[in-house]
Structure 1
Amino acid sequence: MNSRLLLLAITTTMAMAGCSNADSENAMVADRSLQTCDDKPNCVSTRDKRDDFQLAKFTLNETGLAHWADIEQIALSLSGASLAKKATNYLHIECRSAVFGFVDDFELRLQGNEIIVRSESRTGYSDFGVNRERAEAFRTMLLESHYLTSE
């Protein structure tokens, strides 16, 4: 009998978790690339100066500046990534988690020779470091492609 209750509890939790993301999944998300993070530990940004939220700058070299389309493809190679919006010098990429399908917003804005990077979970309080890991994986791929300066 306890195994049935446990199964019911797990199923209910999974269903509720899936539903909690439904509204934000279909909502048109605004460009927040230039904004700092809120106070929840589920966001990182190159624009935020607070230690828990700050990412180091992404400074492109001349090769990187000439390859914005390639940089887009690198971003789209991240786990669960799909293009949500594209504008001049701006990319909004949705990264969907494999297990529950939660969506994180990964935004890139080219400003001069710098890429402003912001990655935030749409739902939940903490992201357990997933957004920082994604941003740093992106940095590593840009460094390996010789698009970033090594400051």
Structure 2
Amino acid sequence: MGSAFVLALCACSASPPATLGVHAGRFEPCPSSPNCVNSQATDSEHKIAPLALNGDPAETQALLLRVIAEQPRAKLTKAEGNYLRFEFTSAVMRFVDDVEFLVGNQRIEVRSASRLGYSDMGVNRERIETIRNALAEQK
């Protein structure tokens, strides 16, 4: 049992899924589990509103980077053009959530998903709403 527990803990921070990123202008759909939100989803369980721009797209992307730099345990893992990907790690169990942003001319598309487990107890949705509010306050 001890080695299984250690293996489970190591799995919390496993490598990111190969499906992350933008493919034909879209994020990977959320799995059926309730541990993901996606502004491009059509079902109510996973749907979250995109983030509003705060200035032009370049200004908004810079603000977004500043806002997330202030979030605990957030690490930028990819910045390519108007695409940003972060890893957020939980404090105790070290679970990793992958959070993606696509800054467009009208809005910011967003996807936030847990790598492991079934339910995230609303953490991904709450995180995006916290970022939304912080971004709006950056006038």
TM range (shorter): 0.7 to 0.9
Shift of 1:75: 1.9
**1:93/1:57 CA distance change after superposition, 3 Å:** same
**Residues 1:104 and 2:97 are matched in the alignment:** yes
List per-residue Cα deviations over 1:95-136 (Å, max 9, x = no partner): 000001111001111122210110000011111100001000
Distance 1:105 1:92 in 2: 7
TM-score by length of 1: 0.78
Equivalent pairs counted in the alignment come to 135
Q: In the alignment, is the contact (CA less than 8 A) between 1:84 and 1:92 conserved in 2?
A: yes
Letter in 2 for 1:77: E
**1:28/1:83 CA distance change after superposition, 3 Å:** farther
**What SS does the aligned partner of 2:130 have?**
helix
What residue is the counterpart of 1:53 in the other structure? Answer: 46
What residue is the counterpart of 2:8 in the other structure? Answer: 17
What residue is the counterpart of 2:34 in the other structure? Answer: 41
Q: Which residues of structure 1 form unaligned runs of 5+?
A: 1-8, 147-151
Letter in 2 for 1:30: L
Structure number with the higher helix fraction is: 1
**Residues 1:72 and 2:65 are matched in the alignment:** yes
Shift of 1:51: 0.9
**Residues 1:84 and 2:74 are matched in the alignment:** no
Distance 1:124 1:92 in 2: 20
Query: Which of residues 133, 136, 139 is equivalent to 1:140?
Result: 133
TM-score by length of 2: 0.84
Shift of 1:59: 2.3
Displacement over 4 Å in runs of 4+: 11-14, 26-29
Shift of 1:13: 7.6
**What SS does the aligned partner of 1:37 have?**
coil
Q: State, as a whole percentage, how many aligned pairs show the same letter.
A: 35
Q: Which residues of structure 2 form unaligned runs of 5+?
A: none
Letter in 2 for 1:104: D
List per-residue Cα deviations over 1:8-41 (Å, max 9, x = no partner): x8x778534312225x247766315622211011
What residue is the counterpart of 2:117 in the other structure? Answer: 124
